[in-house]
Amino acid sequence: MKIHEYQAKEIFTRYGIPVPKNKMVESAEAIDGALREIGGDTFVVKAQIHAGGRGKAGGVRVAQGASEAARIAREMLGAKLVTRQSGPQGRVVRKISLDAAVAIDREYYLAVTLDRAKARGVILSSQAGGMDIEEVAHTQPEKINKTYFDLVFGLASYQAREVALGLGKDPAFVKAVTQIVQKLTEIFVRLDASLVEINPLVLTRDGAVTAIDAKIDFEDNGLYRHPEVGALRDPLEEDPREVEAKKYNLNYVGLDGSVGCMVNGAGLAMATMDVIMLAGGMPANFLDVGGGAKVDQVKAAFKIILSDERVKSILVNIFGGIMKCDVVADGIIQAARDVQLRVPLVVRLEGTNVEKGKELLRQSGIRITPAEGLSQAASLAVQLAGKS
Ligand code: GDP
Ligand code: MN
């Protein structure tokens, strides 16, 4: 799960990592009050969206004086922002953060994440922080230092100091960065994060070290241990299809292709996506309706697929074991009655109660293209997606 920069900065503050004074606003009326509260005469107006690369896309703007800051803030609120991480359709900026600007001397990169292959935590640090860090990682990987640590024992203090010494030698700087590295690691481990990142961590012209950007991604499977973190979820920033699927406990992942799929079993769902691609198509989603899905779940799943504009045909591939074919048929029929079936529907049913399921579908009067076997089903669905 991703959260906004302003939320990550709240967590930083709680753990003692310095950040500039800032205030999130989501309405034009709140702007002037927020700027007064922050004070000072230089501000940074920052779009709060769940996508990086804002700086290069005009989503981070430095303003001289409160009236210029207010003008930029009003302009940014409600506008669409396209960054290299947002996808071509961009994101509507519903929240912005107003920050006290800092005079930057140097920018550093600091992050904690997981090295899955080594099964260890890793601290990434670099003197080449800032907006070009991806480029640096690509062309000059030697400029990024890696320090591994044990997830159970945590980071030793000498390691935190080593990371800091890799970035600078000034004693006050080393002391400040050592503390930040320790706290960053503490956040990572305690909150079950998958990434905690500061880019850039800056040395200001008056010698202070502060995090002017903040990013935390959380491991979804750990969220049940941290309800206060789960409460930070912003559904408006998430794929609306996935938000809806979550309400029904469906195992759904939105993709960009045109063949909507409904499958039982994660393995079969993966295989179905592979076969769709083999047939020259692209799946619009991954969906495992599970073994024990009820009619209302199947119905909800079907509605989510149908509400997706990308979907040009639907492939239902059910191998009934625990899942019964007639339950699936019933869900499809109910959903198709509620929502107009605007695309061709290819159905491949096998297994428990298959005859009953097929009979229900026949009697329903819904236009279905029946298929025998997975490869036939997939090529039919791909063909039909191309036509409609
Ligand atoms: P990102 O592009 O989405 O990662 O957004 P950041 O929050 O990292 O901001 C992008 C860039 O804006 C930073 O690398 C800084 O160079 C610049 N910036 C952000 N805040 C300030 C500030 O307070 N003062 C100055 N001078 N520049 C800033
Ligand atoms: Mn950044």
Question: Is the preceding omega at residue 200 within 30 degrees of 0, hence cis?
Answer: yes
Which segments of the chain does DSSP mark as H helices, in order? 5-15, 31-38, 66-76, 133-139, 157-165, 171-190, 227-230, 240-247, 266-278, 295-306, 325-338, 354-364, 374-387
Q: What is the pLDDT of residue 125?
A: 98
| CATH superfamily, domain at 21-101 | ATP-grasp fold, A domain (3.30.1490.20)
- Taking only the tens place, the pLDDT of each residue in 318-359 is 888 888 889 888 888 888 888 888 899 999 999 999 999 999
CB atoms within 10 A of CB 282: 15
Going by CA atoms, what residue is nearest to atom 12 of ligand 1?
55
Average pLDDT over residues 101-117: 97
Contact 191, 183 (CB under 8 A): no
**Distance of alpha carbon 104 from alpha carbon 204, whole angstroms:** 5
Around Cβ 378, how many Cβ atoms within 10 Å? Answer: 29
Q: Is the CB of 100 under 6 A from ligand 1?
A: no
Q: Is 87 left (phi over 0), alpha (psi -120 to 50) or beta?
A: left
Q: How confident is the model at residue 186 (pLDDT cuts 50, 70, 90)?
A: very high
Ligand 1 centre to CA of 55 (Å) is 6
pLDDT tens profile 249-273: 899 999 999 999 999 889 999 999 9
As a whole number, mean pLDDT of residues 210-231 equals: 96
* Model confidence at 292: pLDDT above 80: no
Whose Cα sits closest to atom 13 in ligand 1? 130
Q: Grade residue 388 by pLDDT with cuts at 50, 70 and 90.
A: low
Per-residue confidence (pLDDT) for residue 299, from 0 to 100? 87
Say which CATH topology domain 239-387 has. Answer: Rossmann fold (3.40.50)
d(CA 333, CA 364): 7
- CA of 61 from ligand 1 middle (Å) equals 8
Query: Which H or E run contains 263?
Result: strand 259-263
Is ligand 1 within 6 A of the CB of residue 44? yes
> Which of 5, 9, 102, 104 for mutating ligand 1's site (highest number of atoms within 8 Å of CB)?
104
Q: Are 257 and 283 in contact (CB under 8 A)?
A: yes
For domain 1-19+104-237, the CATH architecture is 2-Layer Sandwich (3.30)
Average predicted confidence (pLDDT) for the chain:
94
Q: Domain map of the chain by residue range?
A: 1-19+104-237, 21-101, 239-387
List the single range of 10-14, 46-50, 373-377 with lowest mean pLDDT. Answer: 373-377
Give the model's confidence band at 294: pLDDT under 50 very low, under 70 low, under 90 confident, else very high: confident
Atom of ligand 1 nearest to the CA of 46: 7
Residue closest via CA to ligand 1's atom 10 equals 55
**Residues acting as catalytic residues:** 109, 197
